[in-house]
């Protein structure tokens, strides 16, 4: 035995054992009360002198605390750490979402518009209306239509400051209603700004009138140009004017350069505008003469009337150059216009709106020209040969 233990539990045998112990034998006292209470070995008394020393080496494993109690338990194991796996690559980006079709705009107006019948006495012409209302053959046909079935398309009007309504579109329908003996006519009343009214008025007339005089078209395009500038266009300085001209051209199926040439015609004196509308002054010479001083333009009008001759492009250009050099006077004007006109190359202008009736949007101007020339060549081959012989006969008679 390594020693004699005395159990200090109050029993007599403890004393007896203690009395019988041999000399030199160490005695270790264990308090059983503490053992019964569940105390651990750390509460035991230190070993007496003579006990064996503790074995050297790895220290004992840490004891695990039992759940819910203070007694010893199994040592806790450290949780295992998972081995790091290979680095994951970033997932591929999702495919781009398909393009959504553009949302359609709502064409309806915020305020409901109704057709109302207004007395003709309440309707007033548009201020500075550039288009004349003529009692011609076209008007007679419109009057007959109104008498038979009334006015089919309502006029567009806006409230007038002085009372009544200002006609934006429908001047000829209003005149036809008067000639047909009607008291009123259908109208749509719309609140519009001055610029909105100008654009609506010019668009309606330029697109639907069968006969438009050059001076009327020039004045209408000038009004459109001013209205678009007032509404605002991107650009600075001269670019603003250029962009506005292009916008006017887009509305009317022509280039911005052609719009500018029409606007120049507004600088002609009234006498020359009348000659131009009457067919005695062609478009291109009229553009050249419009750049000449007004007092010299009046002399040119008198000379055209006196000689009963329309100036050519070359003559008009020469008059303009001499005006810039301050060399024009009535005698010089007569001398230039009396000169024999040389045979000139002339341009045939066909608008894009006219060509759109026969060609698709994918055709380039060059392709259109080639196809037109090819068709003209085929047409010429089908003509009777007498046409060519007649020209040769005339040459031989000379």
Q: What confidence tens digit (pLDDT) does each residue in 22-42 have?
A: 454 455 555 555 545 444 444
CB 322 within 8 A of CB 294: no
More confident residue, 210 or 256: 256
What are phi and psi for residue 232, nearest 5 degrees?
A: 105, 130
Q: What is the DSSP string of 91-136?
A: PPPPPPPPPPPPPPPP-S-SS---EEEEEGGGEEPPTT--S----S
The string of pLDDT tens digits covering residues 258-297 is 999 999 999 999 999 999 999 999 999 999 999 999 999 9
User: Is pLDDT of 371 > 90?
Assistant: no
The last residue of one of the domains, among 209, 233, 265, is 209
Non-local CB neighbours of 128 within 8 Å, separated by 6+ positions: 223
pLDDT band at 71 (very low <50, low <70, confident <90, very high): very low
Of 172, 194, 209, the last residue of a domain is: 209
Measured CA distances, 220 to 50, 59, 69, 279 (Å): 130, 109, 104, 19
> What per-residue confidence (pLDDT) applies to 28?
52
The domain that holds 121 is classified in CATH as: 3.90.1530.10
- Residue at 136 is within a domain: yes
Residue 122 lies in a domain: yes
What's CA 311's distance to the chain center, in Å? Answer: 45
Question: Does residue 119 lie within any of the structural domains?
Answer: yes
Q: Is residue 26 part of a domain?
A: yes
Pair 248, 259: CB distance under 8 Å: yes
Q: How many CB atoms are closer than 10 A to CB 229?
A: 17
Report yes or no on 371 lying in a domain. Answer: no
The number of folded domains in the chain is 2
Alpha-carbon torsion angle 39, 45, 47, 53, nearest 10:
50
Confidence at residue 160, expressed as pLDDT on a 0 to 100 scale: 93
Q: Are 230 and 238 in contact (CB under 8 A)?
A: no
| Residue numbers of the domain that contains 198 | 113-209
**CA torsion through residues 250, 253, 255, 259, sign:** negative
Interatomic CA distance for residues 181 and 146, integer angstroms: 10
Q: Give the integer Cα–Cα distance in Å for 350 and 127.
A: 32
Q: Which of 3-12, 188-197, 314-323, 351-360 has the lowest mean pLDDT?
A: 3-12
Query: pLDDT band at residue 307, thresholds of 50, 70 and 90?
Result: confident
pLDDT for 260 equals 96
Evaluate whether residue 53 is within a structural domain: no
Per-residue pLDDT at 73: 46
Q: Of 194, 209, 224, which marks where a domain is finished?
A: 209
Look-up of token digits 């650009």: 235
69: pLDDT confidence band, cut at 50, 70 and 90? very low
Specify the higher pLDDT residue, 371 or 260: 260
Determine what percent of the chain is predicted with pLDDT higher than 90. 48
Instruction: Find, among 156, 153, 175, 176, the residue nearest to 166 by Cα.
Output: 156
The three-class DSSP label of residue 156 is strand
Q: Is residue 133 part of a domain?
A: yes
Predicted model pTM: 0.60
Q: 165: helix, coil or strand?
A: strand
Q: What is the pLDDT of residues 211-252, one digit of tens each?
A: 899 999 999 999 999 999 887 644 445 555 568 899 999 999
Q: How many residues does the chain have?
A: 398
Same domain, 124 and 203: yes
Q: What is the mean pLDDT of residues 374-395?
A: 69
Residues 349-374, buried b or exposed e (16+ Cβ, 10 A)?
Answer: eeeeeeeeeeeeeeeeeeeeeeeeee
164-200 pLDDT tens trace: 999 999 999 999 999 999 999 999 999 999 999 999 9
Q: Which of 3-17, 96-110, 202-216 shows the highest mean pLDDT?
A: 202-216
Average pLDDT score, the chain: 78
Q: Is residue 64 part of a domain?
A: no
CA 283, CA 301: separation in Å to the nearest integer? 15
């Amino acid at each position: 035995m390594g020693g004699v233990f005395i159990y200090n539990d109050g029993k007599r045998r403890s004393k007896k054992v203690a009395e019988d112990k041999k000399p030199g034998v160490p005695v270790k006292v264990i308090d059983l009360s503490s053992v019964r209470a569940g105390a651990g070995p750390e509460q035991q008394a230190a070993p007496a002198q003579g006990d064996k020393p503790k074995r050297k080496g790895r220290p004992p494993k840490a004891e695990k605390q039992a759940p819910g109690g203070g007694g010893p338990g199994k040592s806790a194991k450290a949780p295992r750490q998972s081995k790091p796996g290979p680095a994951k690559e970033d997932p591929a980006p999702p495919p781009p979402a398909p393009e959504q079709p553009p949302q359609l705009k709502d064409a309806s107006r915020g305020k409901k518009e109704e057709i109302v019948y207004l007395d003709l006495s309440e309707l007033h012409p548009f201020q500075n209306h550039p288009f004349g209302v003529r009692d011609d053959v076209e008007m007679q046909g419109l009057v007959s239509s109104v008498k038979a079935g009334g006015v089919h398309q309502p006029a567009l009007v806006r409230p007038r400051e002085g009372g009544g309504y200002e006609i934006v579109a429908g001047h000829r329908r209003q005149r036809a209603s008067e000639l047909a003996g009607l008291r009123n006519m259908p109208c749509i009343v719309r609140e519009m700004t001055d610029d909105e009214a100008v654009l609506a008025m010019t668009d309606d007339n330029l697109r639907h009138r069968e006969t438009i005089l050059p001076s009327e078209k020039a004045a209408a395009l000038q009004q459109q140009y001013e209205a678009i500038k007032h509404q605002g266009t991107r650009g600075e300085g001269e670019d603003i004017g250029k962009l506005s001209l292009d916008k006017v051209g887009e509305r009317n199926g022509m280039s911005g350069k052609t719009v500018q040439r029409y606007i120049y015609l507004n600088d002609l004196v009234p006498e020359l505008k009348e000659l131009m509308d009457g067919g005695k002054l062609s478009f291109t010479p009229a553009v050249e003469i419009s750049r000449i001083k007004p007092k010299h333009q009046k002399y040119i009008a008198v000379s055209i009337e006196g000689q009963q001759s329309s100036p050519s492009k070359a003559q008009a250009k020469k008059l303009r150059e001499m005006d810039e050099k301050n060399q024009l006077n009535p005698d010089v004007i007569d001398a230039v216009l009396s000169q024999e006109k040389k045979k000139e190359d002339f341009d045939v202008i066909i608008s894009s709106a006219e060509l759109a009736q026969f060609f698709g949007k994918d055709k380039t101007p060059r392709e259109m020209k080639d196809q037109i020339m090819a068709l003209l060549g085929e047409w010429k081959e089908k003509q009777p040969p007498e046409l060519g012989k007649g020209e040769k006969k005339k040459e031989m008679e000379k």
